[in-house]
Structure 1
Amino acid sequence: MRFTFVGFGLLASSVAAAIKQAKLPTVVRAVSSPATLARAKELGLADEFYGYDEIKDWVPGSDVILLCAPILHILKTIENLSQMDLSLLDAQKQILVSDIGSTKVEICKAGAKLPKPFVFVGSHPMAGSEKRTLEYNDPSIFENAYWFVCPPEGVDESVYKPLLNLISFVGANAVVFPPEHHDRTMAWVSHMPQMLSSTLAASMPERLVKPNYQHYAGRAFRDMTRIAASGWNMWHDIAVTNRDQTVLALKEVRAGIDKTVEAMESLKVVCDGKPAGDDCSAALETVFKAGNDGRASLFAPGRNAAAAFSEITVPLKDVPGALLQVLQPLADNNLNIRDIELMKVRENIAGTLLLAFKTPEEARRAMQILLQLGYDVKER
């Protein structure tokens, strides 16, 4: 099998790294800029190297072409594929073309127009990082992530089986989805949150910024604005290819904010330690309870891939080596930690370590080990 990755950034190089790590009998072709290709060669992430303009060389012989560039570049590459000299290709050999773009309707429309022997099936892995280059390649970045697959209507699964096999190999969970449903869903759970985060970080008032009071931000504000650090170039392409659905989502959130403002304004203020009138917090309580339910629905059993991990919590002391004292015994017992988070960290106050394992059995083994060492371990 020859897999050709057009655009060799974080996600493409991470798939390639997983292939190389497993020593699969697969030829990895990297298509990118000269500097990126040189670095990919140094890191041993690919077997063949091509520039973007060498399309006559990297298309023939490819079994799967995965377009891993920004969305508008993906659309341009599809156009280039449609215009290339088909006499260079074996008309009897299918070439599966897919992509990792964050929007799907426009890409799938363009891909559907590709002539034989190309067959286009759009896809989108829900994985990534604020880091964008192959320097940060991570073979486990797709572990337990959703990977949307958007085949044309009526196309048999056997046609895009190589893509499904690749998704399974890197540890992701394939979800077959119509492209319209994908964009409508992503507008709410990904694209609108980015716009809100950027807006929140951009809207800090002068009365906060001028005296540098923003540095007192707690975890809530820092978490809500984390993705405001995302690069504009990628989000430009997402915004212009999923504009309508994202605008709709923003308007729906704006309506929710208006309700929260009304609920806040209906509250009776406290004067001299006593409420100035009857308690009018029922409307705001309704908002909070609906928010509790909405948040809980994200982690419904059997529905959320990320929630499939078995998690435990371990209180830590604020002393040098505290993390190592927890992690080393688990490593010595060949337990593989799939995710880790240090929560509730304050200077001179104990933090809580969240550890995630692939199976409940691994989590129970970890608990037994740490309980024997005197830690107050709990299932999450």
Structure 2
Amino acid sequence: MRITFVGFGLLASSVAAAIKQAKLPTVVRAVSSPATLARAKDLGLADECFGYDEITDWVPGSDMILLCAPILHILHTIENLAQMDLSVLSSQPKILVSDIGSTKVEICKAGAKLPKPFVFVGSHPMAGSEKRTLEYNDPSIFENAYWFVCPPEGVEEADYKSLLDLISFVGANAVVFPPEHHDRTMAWVSHMPQMLSSTLAASMPERLVKPSYQHYAGRAFRDMTRIAASGWNMWHDIAVTNRDQTVLALREVREGLDKTIEAMDHLQVVSDGKPAADDRAGELESVFKAGNEGRASLFEKGRNAAAAFSEITVPLKDVPGALLQVLSPLAQNNLNIRDIELMKVRENIAGTLLLAFKTPEEARRAVQILKLLGYDVKER
């Protein structure tokens, strides 16, 4: 098996790292800039290296080509594949081409036009980090994540089984999805939240910023603006290729905000324990209840693969070495922690450690071990 990664950033190098870690009989071919290729060699992540312009060298011999560059670069590469001299591929009956772009409609339209021996199937792993380069490669980054697969009409599952096998190998969950459904869904659960977060962080009024009062922001504001730190270059491509669906999602949120504002405009101070006649607190309450239900729906049992870990919470003491005192006995008992979060941290107040395990059995073992050590552990 020879996989060619066109673009060798975080996600491509993470797949390569998983392949190398498992010592699979797979040749990893990296296509990137000279500096990135040199580093890929140093890290032992790539067996063969090519420049972007060496297309007649890196296409022949590839069993799978995975386009891992920004969206507009993916589209440009597909165009180059369509225009290349196919006589150099006469000995290859099929070359599977896929991508990891965050939008799918435009990419799948372009990919469907590729001539034989190319077979194009769009894809999009719901994994990543604010870190972008191969220096931060993580072979477990895809574990338990959704990985969308968007085959065009007429393409049989057997034609892209090698892609499904790769997705399964890195621990992700393949979801076969029409590209239009993908972009409509991502507009709401990914692209609109990014625009909303960026707008929120960009809209802080001068009355807040000038005296530096924004530094008093609590966790809610910090969490809501975390992704406002995202880079523009990647999001330019997403905005351009999924503009209409993202604008629609933003307008739907704006309608919801207008209803919330209207309800708040009619709130009245309670007098003698009774609300005023024209009080609209019931309308605002309905927003909160609908919000509770919407949030809960994200974590319906068996529906959210990304949230399928078994979690426990451990109260910590505010003393040096508190984290180590919890983590060391778990490691000594060969328990693999899949995710970790430190919550409710205040000076001189105990924080709460959230630990995630792959199976309920591992979580229960962790609870037993930590309870024997005197911790008030709870399964979440």
Aligned partner of 1:67: which letter? L
- The equivalent residue for 1:233 is 233
Deviations 1:98-149 (A, max 9, x none): 0000000000000000000000000000000111000110000001000000
Shift of 1:306: 1.6
Moved more, 16-25 or 83-92: 83-92
Q: 1:288 corresponds to which residue?
A: 288
Number of aligned pairs?
A: 379
* Residues 10, 128 of structure 2: 8 Å contact kept: yes
**What pairs up with 1:1-380 in 2 under 5 angstroms?**
1-269=1-269, 277=276, 280-380=280-380
Further displaced range: 290-299 or 82-91 = 82-91
Q: Which whole-Å deviations, capped at 9, do the CAs of 1:33-70 have from their partners, x for residues lacking one?
A: 00100111111110000000000000000000000000
Q: Distance in 1 between matches of 2:228 and 2:138?
A: 23
RMSD of aligned residue pairs (Cα, Å):
1.2
Q: Is the 8 A contact 1:268 1:276 kept in 2?
A: yes
- Distance in 2, Cα, partners of 1:147 & 1:60: 27
Whole-angstrom distance in 2 between the partners of 1:22 and 1:307:
25
Structure 1 Cα separation of the partners of residues 274 and 344 of structure 2: 32
The answer to whether the 8 A contact 1:91-1:116 is kept is no
The DSSP-based 3-state class of the residue aligned with 1:66 is strand
CA deviation map 1:172-214 (0-9, x unaligned) = 0000000000000000000000000000000000000000000
Q: Greater CA deviation, 67-76 or 303-312? A: 303-312
- Measured after TM superposition, the shift of residue 308 of structure 1 is 1.0
CA distance in 1, matches of 2:155, 2:82: 20
**Match for 2:161: what amino acid?**
K
Distance, in Å, in 1 between the alignment partners of 2:92 and 2:282 is 68
Query: What are structure 2's unaligned runs of at least 5 residues?
Result: none
Identity of matched residues, %: 88
| Matched residue SS, 2:45 | coil
CA distance in 1, matches of 2:2, 2:342: 41
Displacement after TM superposition at 1:274 (Å): 7.5
Q: Distance in 2 between matches of 1:8 and 1:234?
A: 15
CA distance in 1, matches of 2:259, 2:294: 16
| Contact 1:68-1:99 at 8 Å conserved across structures | yes
Say which SS state the counterpart of residue 148 (structure 2) adopts: strand
Looking at structure 2, the residues matched to 309 and 212 of structure 1 have their Cα atoms a distance apart, in angstroms, of: 39
Alpha-carbon contact 1:267-1:281 (below 8 Å) kept: yes
The runs of at least 4 aligned residues of structure 1 exceeding 3 Å deviation read 273-280
Give the secondary structure class of the aligned counterpart of 1:139: coil
Q: Compared with structure 1, are the counterparts of its residues 253 and 89 closer, same or farther at alpha carbon in structure 2 (3 Å cutoff)?
A: same
Q: Conserved in 2, the CA contact under 8 Å of 1:127 and 1:142?
A: yes
Cα deviation digits, residues 325-364 of structure 1 (max 9, x gap)? 0000000000000011111111111111110000000000
AA partner of residue 337 (structure 1): I
SS in 2 for 1:314: strand
The one-letter amino acid of 2:292's match is: N
What displacement does 1:281 show? 1.1
How far apart, in 2, do the equivalents of 1:57 and 1:92 lie? 14
1:232 alignment partner AA: W
TM-score of the two chains, using structure 2 as the length reference: 0.98
**Local SS of the residue matching 2:139:** coil
How far apart, in 1, do the equivalents of 2:195 and 2:376 lie? 40
Deviation of residue 280 (structure 1)?
3.6
CA contact (8 A) 1:11 1:137 kept: yes
Change beyond 3 A, Cα 1:38–1:139: same
Structure 1 residue 92: Cα displacement? 4.4
- Cα distance in 1 between the residues matched to 2:370 and 2:63: 48
Q: What is the DSSP-based 3-state SS (H/G/I as helix, E as strand, rest coil) of the residue aligned with 1:263?
A: helix
- Shift of the alpha carbon at 1:275? 7.4
3-state SS in 2 of match to 1:312: strand
Q: Give, in whole Å, the separation in 2 of the partners of 1:90 and 1:62.
A: 13
